[in-house]
Structure 1
């Protein structure tokens, strides 16, 4: 399929088709991100061989519904969010066009992907959205040195590591009462399966790429 640049009207239609409308300004921002993603993808293989429509329907769709999920949660007024293993900025960069609360850090250890995200953010000017290039376990120490929170309010993970390992890995990174949000292809575990000190919070299901996907939040107690 020939590569074409996404336009604002096409993004508006694509979002409506997926059941989640966006504003013209949001569509313009999403188009700018997808335009850069497709261009860089030809050289770096960020998301496999796909044009912007495939990326929108299979990947950006998560961001559209995640914005609503986060908007419905009880969070601090200005939460500190860590997006672990941010890769090409999915779901984080499209998410920030729709949900802009607090400080948002895209955490990525791979240099080329961090470079791509910084380049895109330089063009898009999204509020309080940053890239941390390095290991996830080092992120908060570096942020604390720069005057940010010592612990995160929200941690996002899509395939960063299995959720069971993620809970142990992030325990010291998350404040008491903070939440981990898992983007998954399966429903959450039973609450009895969670380790001590964790509680199942909000859960949502949504259609994506012909399948059912889920968000589930786990609260640190």
Structure 2
């Protein structure tokens, strides 16, 4: 597949999700896929091997949350912490799309953090930061939004990462099916509750996706 096809697919996917993606942003995401494919041969950053699949299952999947985030995070300057970011998903994509947001990707695997730092330089993203460590070992943060993608069950996620959310901030989990069973454990074991669940549309992906928004009780 040629470069132009990647760019057009990215822009078309954005339009399908109600997102405006300019040429520089599309080029950055295309470069990201190329670099991820290259690094993955040596460092095994993701189980997905083909660039076309990376584009859909990683980039488009991460882009799909932006309309919901834009609606809930109406401030121009937003601080985001991506827990268990892996190869920078969704945090790196958010940093590309929203340059006024400060995005910190956290992962316990050093080679994944090295990749994110490399991409911050390659893509000239001064708003993208990478922290190597376990979330429970970090000093408490004050983020507007703490997000995870396939990181842990909701109660575990809230227990580990909730202290990094500012008092009126949000804890958000990217999930496949709606986590009805996890909601009970979340209520019983933590001081968090599900505020609402947003269904997501990921272009070119035939699978269920949703975004679980959690807020503190009371």
2:158 to 152, 167, 170: 167
Counterpart residue number, 1:110: 109
Q: Who is 1:210 aligned against?
A: 206
Is the CA contact (8 Å cut-off) linking 2:105 and 2:129 kept in structure 1?
Answer: yes
Q: Label 1:11 to 1:191 Cα distance change in 2 as closer, same or farther (>3 A).
A: same
Q: For the residues of structure 2 that align with 1:8 and 1:218, how far apart are their CA atoms?
A: 39
- Gap change, CA 1:75 and 1:220, over 3 Å in 2: farther
Q: Aligned pair in 2 of structure 1 residues 207, 77: CA closer, same or farther (>3 Å)?
A: closer
**Alignment pair present for 1:155 and 2:146:** yes
Shift of 1:70: 0.9
Aligned to 1:133: 132
Partner Cα separation in structure 1 for residue 158 and residue 112 of structure 2: 25
Q: Is the 8 A contact 1:140 1:151 kept in 2?
A: no
- 1:128-158 Cα distance to aligned partner (Å, 9 max, x none): 11000112123335xxxxxxxx422211111
- Residue 64 of structure 1 is matched in structure 2 by 63
8 A contact 2:87–2:115 mirrored in 1:
yes
Q: Is contact 1:175-1:220 (8 Å) kept?
A: no
CA deviation map 1:78-112 (0-9, x unaligned)? 23211001111112212221133432100011111
Is the Cα–Cα contact under 8 Å of residues 7 and 28 in structure 1 kept in the other structure? no
Q: 1:177 to 1:8 in 2, by over 3 A?
A: farther
User: Aligned pair count?
Assistant: 209
Structure 2: distance between partners of 1:220 and 1:53: 39
SS in 2 for 1:140: coil
Q: 1:63, 1:122 → 2: CA distance? A: 20
Runs of 5+ unmatched residues, structure 2: none
* CA distance 1:200–1:27, change in 2 (3 Å): same
Contact 2:146 2:171 in 1 (8 A): yes
TM-score normalised according to structure 1 size: 0.83
The TM-score normalised by the length of structure 2 is 0.84
User: SS at the partner of 1:203?
Assistant: strand
Greater alpha carbon shift after TM alignment, 160-169 vs 176-185: 160-169
1:180 aligns with 2:179: no
Q: How does 1:36-47 map to 2 (within 5 A)?
A: 36-47=35-46
Give the counterpart of 1:10 among 6, 10, 14. 6
Give the 3-state SS of the residue equivalent to 2:77 in structure 1: coil
